[in-house]
Amino acid sequence: MTEESTTPTLYDWAGGGEALERLTGVFYDKVLKDDVIGPLFAHMSPDHPQHVAIWLGEVFGGPARYTDELGGYPQMLAHHIDKGITEPQRRRWVDLLLDSADEAGLPADPEFRAAFVGYIEWGTRLAMSNSQPGADVVGEAPVPRWGWGVAPPYQP
Ligand code: HEM
Decide if 89 is inside a domain: yes
> What are the pLDDT tens digits along the chain (156 aa)?
455 568 999 999 999 999 999 999 999 999 999 999 999 999 999 999 999 999 999 999 999 999 999 999 999 999 999 999 999 999 999 999 999 999 999 999 999 999 999 999 999 999 999 999 999 999 999 999 999 999 999 876
Decide if 98 is inside a domain: yes
CATH number at residue 78: 1.10.490.10
| Annotated binding residue 51 | yes
- Long-range contacts for 21-25 (Cβ within 8 Å, ≥24 apart)? 21/49, 21/50, 21/53, 22/104, 22/105, 23/53, 23/56, 23/97, 23/100, 23/101, 23/104, 23/106, 24/49, 24/50, 24/52, 24/53, 24/56, 24/100, 25/49, 25/104
Task: Give the number of domains in the chain.
Answer: 1
pLDDT tens digit sequence for 83-95? 999 999 999 999 9
Decide if 79 is inside a domain: yes
Decide if 34 is inside a domain: yes
Nearest residue by C-alpha to atom 37 in ligand 1 = 79
For position 1, what pLDDT does the model report? Answer: 46
pLDDT tens digit sequence for 29-53? 999 999 999 999 999 999 999 999 9
Which of 37, 43, 52, 70 for a ligand 1 pocket mutation test, highest count of atoms within 8 Å of Cβ? 52
Which segments of 1-156 does DSSP mark as H helices, in order?
A: 3-6, 10-14, 16-33, 48-59, 65-69, 72-78, 87-103, 110-130
Angle between helices 16-33 and 48-59 (to 10 degrees): 130
Decide if 54 is inside a domain: yes
From the CB of 151, is ligand 1 less than 6 Å away? no
Decide if 135 is inside a domain: no
Decide if 149 is inside a domain: no
Decide if 15 is inside a domain: yes
Q: Which domain holds residue 17?
A: 8-130
- What ipTM does the predicted assembly reach? 0.97
- Give CA–CA dist 60/13, Å, rounded: 9
